[in-house]
Structure 1
Amino acid sequence: MMAVDMVEEAGFEVVEAADAGQAVELLEKHLDIRIVFTDIDMPRGLDGIRLAALIRDRWPPIEIILTSGGFPPKPNEMPERGVFFAKPFQPEQVVNEMHRMTRAIS
């Protein structure tokens, strides 16, 4: 919930998914999604690393931000152009990265 509030307060429109399967469904329906912010630890099915790989494969232009309170991903697990923030992260750092990503997309 904190991440959703943080992103909305920064002026971004949020589409929230309960798990990776729902995230994929939303990506299939909402072709205007440009950034995915996901935790590595996710319930049911795919974890955030596998979700990021799937996104990079199916929707290459989408920017990806990963977070985790556990271990950071190994360099070979990070998606191309992906960014990782360890928890607890500084909200302004994540928001600044999202703004940078949107400028790069434009």
Structure 2
Amino acid sequence: MFRGKAVILVVEDSAIIRMSAVDLVLSAGYLALEASSAEEAVRILESRTDVDLVFTDVQMPGTMDGIRLSHYIRERWPPVRLIVASGKAMLAESHLPEGSRFFSKPYNDHAITDAIGRLLSGDAG
């Protein structure tokens, strides 16, 4: 699936949390892209063919939250892996597209990087 380092798109409206998540992705050895809304994330996905995983927050401004974004990505770009996080909502993974992972905030950095590695290797567990 990869052409080198995996590319991970971080979608988070809070600039501080987004920077922290981007740092986490970079420190784990992946390439990071960032978007502050679902609409911006869709524009990035439409303009690039190298995004391997999207790590998104649930609550975001605009017409699409992270749950709707994850379903849209699964329908339009099925190979893209998905991690969804929220500090306000507790979600059962059954509310998300198959193979997605959910984490409540504050999340454990190691748990996120472990999930990224597992998803990118094809292990949804």
Q: Same fold per TM (> 0.5)?
A: yes
Partners of 2:70 and 2:36 in 1: CA distance:
15
Counterpart of 2:32 in 1: which secondary structure?
A: coil
Distance 1:99 1:75, change over 3 A: closer
More strand by share: 2
Aligned residue among 54, 65, 71 for 1:47 = 65
Q: TM-score, normalised by structure 1?
A: 0.93
| Structure with greater helix percent | 1
Which residue, 60, 63, 69 being the options, matches 2:81? Answer: 63
- The residue number in structure 2 matching 1:81 is 99
Q: What letter matches 2:97 in structure 1?
A: P
Q: State the TM-score, normalizing by the size of structure 2.
A: 0.79
Structure 2: unaligned runs, 5 residues or longer: 1-18
Task: State the 1:73 CA deviation.
Answer: 2.3
Task: Give 5+ residue unaligned stretches, structure 1.
Answer: none
- What percentage of aligned pairs have identical amino acids? 40
- In the comparison of the two structures, how many residue pairs are matched? 105
Distance 2:62 2:118 in 1: 31
Work out the CA distance in 1 between the residues paired with 2:68 and 2:28.
27
1:17-51 per-position Cα deviation (integer Å, ceiling 9, x unaligned): 11001100100111110100000011222000000
* 1: CA distance, partners of 2:44 / 2:116: 19
Q: Which runs of 4+ in 1 moved over 6 A?
A: none
- Cα RMSD (Å): 1.3
Deviation at 1:103, TM superposition (A): 1.4
1:30 and 2:48 matched:
yes
Q: Say whether residues 1:72 and 2:90 are aligned partners.
A: yes
